[in-house]
Amino acid sequence: MRELDAIIAQRGRSSTVVSDSGTEFPSTAILRWPQGRPIDWHCIAPGKQMENGFIESFDGSFRDKCLAATRSMMARAWYLRSATRALADGRPANRSATAALSETYPAESTPAFDQRL
């Protein structure tokens, strides 16, 4: 609760605080904090997130961006791991170049090309 007291000391006191009543605040300390202070603590009703729509929107956007960044990092890690394994096995990580050569390496396809001439 020191953080809330520090914010009040720096920015001044709000007459009302609106918060979720869900699992975000499992501590009873947050519920006891406004007692004895001239602050009205309003918990939004369960299932009525739009009572605090700005924060709910921010939380949703922030969560989505974090998940997208995590998925992107995981995809890059998977690609790097597979490319590293492929290089360690002595094969190219990107097979599109060898697909044009009938799944052979350039050195293997050159003699066949010379024989067709």
CA distances, 58 to each of 23, 48, 61, 69 (Å): 17, 16, 5, 16
Both 56 and 38 in one domain: the answer is no
Residue 62 lies in a domain: yes
Residue 97 lies in a domain: no
Both 57 and 22 in one domain: the answer is no
Domain that holds residue 84: 50-92
Domain count along the chain: 2
What DSSP element (H or E) covers 17?
strand 16-19
Both 2 and 39 in one domain: the answer is yes
Contact by Cβ (8 Å): 28, 3 = no
pLDDT, tens digit, 9 for 90 and up, residues 52-62: 667 777 877 88
d(CA 72, CA 89): 26
The mean of the pLDDT values for the chain is: 74
The pLDDT-based confidence of 19 (bands split at 50, 70, 90) is: confident
Residue 101 lies in a domain: no
Residue 54 lies in a domain: yes
d(CA 104, CA 97): 9
Both 1 and 38 in one domain: the answer is yes
Mean pLDDT across the stretch 12-31? 72
Does residue 100 have a pLDDT over 80?
no
* Maximum Cα interatomic distance, the chain, rounded to a whole number of Å: 96
Mean pLDDT across the stretch 9-32? 75
pLDDT, tens digit, 9 for 90 and up, residues 27-77: 677 778 888 888 888 777 776 666 666 777 787 788 888 888 888 888 888
Q: What pLDDT, on the 0 to 100 scale, is given for residue 33?
A: 80
Q: What pLDDT, on the 0 to 100 scale, is given for residue 115?
A: 53
